[in-house]
Amino acid sequence: MMFSRVLSIGSRDLAIDLGTANTLVYVQGRGIVLDEPSVVTIQFENGVRSVRAVGNDAKLMMGKTPENVKTIRPLRAGVIADLDVAEQMIKHFIEKARDGGRFSRKPEVVICIPSGSTSVERRAIRDAVTNAGATQVSLLDEPMAAALGAGLPIADPVGSMVVDIGGGTTEVGVISLQGMAYSESARVGGDKMDEAISSYVRRRYNMLIGEATSERVKMEIGTAVRPIDSRGPTATVKGRDLARGVPTELVLSQAEVAEALAEPVGRIVHVVRTALEHTKPEIAADVIDHGITMTGGGSLLRGIDTLIAEATGLPVRIADDPLTCVARGAGQTLEDQVYRGALQAA
């Protein structure tokens, strides 16, 4: 009796939002049980590499490791850049989400992918998840998952538009009757914003700052629109002076960060406008009525919803808990058979 109970708990299937910046795991019947950075620390000894830390523990080590230890992100721009490390990371997350799952069968997994992924990239994701311990892998386009998680009526004959700004990609989907009427994917997101801030500081102040520092500045004072006053709030930035080679610090204003982010934000706005230009007239009419829904961590950048609203002339809203929309949407395909039609066999 007790054994069968443990078996049934451990055999629940999973939905994974395998993001460039963070990975979220949804367990059937339990909801989201894991949300950790997509980061792995690798240690090299005698030509052999082994995993030292994954997720939160690995992110703490970023930029602070000795020569024989490297902290890497196995996904770039929404796709797998290092297959072996990605497999180790996914396996770790699956085991952690299922509390080891020693007595249970291997799970079936729904995994979210960028809508613009090539067949080679889709196969790489499928192979990584299968090798990590899944018995069956189903793929789900990120815009579809985001729309489902945001509560949009994807099963109805009504056009809905969702913009999901993740760490590696921006996904724009126009959805009706559980199908993609149109999708557009661009490899620009939170990572490009971080790189833009770092490049700006290096170009203007001849100072080198780390990835974690750029991300912190973006979250503290990042904005898509220039502040009303000349400078706005400020943030202290510490790094290395490239001319003198010594540690130094400076104060960045919000206006400067807005200037740094202008290029990646402009690309996101362009992707949204391109999707609207290719939307069928009847669906476009629905989008006018219901507006655009934004999800993903990038939607939390100050003023980006206002900027897109001004550029398109449409109402824009940010979904509730935008960071988890994709994972929750993928999870709904496990919980409700109605949405199984949105899945693609891998």
**Binding-site entries:** 20-22, 167-169, 215-218, 297-300
- In which element (H, E) is residue 283 found? helix 281-290
- CA dihedral (231, 237, 243, 247) in degrees, to 10, reads 150
54 has which bridge partners?
40
Give the residue ranges of the annotated binding site for ATP.
Answer: 20-22, 167-169, 215-218, 297-300
Q: How far apart are CA 155 and CA 342, in angstroms?
A: 9
* Phi/psi at 192 (5° precision): -65, -35
Q: At what angle do helices 119-131 and 83-97 cross, to 10 degrees?
A: 50
In the chain, where do the E strands start and end? 14-18, 22-27, 31-37, 40-45, 48-54, 69-72, 75-76, 79-80, 108-113, 136-141, 160-165, 170-176, 179-186, 207-208, 234-241, 247-253, 292-295, 316-318, 344-345
Residue 165 CB-density burial (10 A; 0-12 exposed, 13-18 middle, 19+ buried): buried
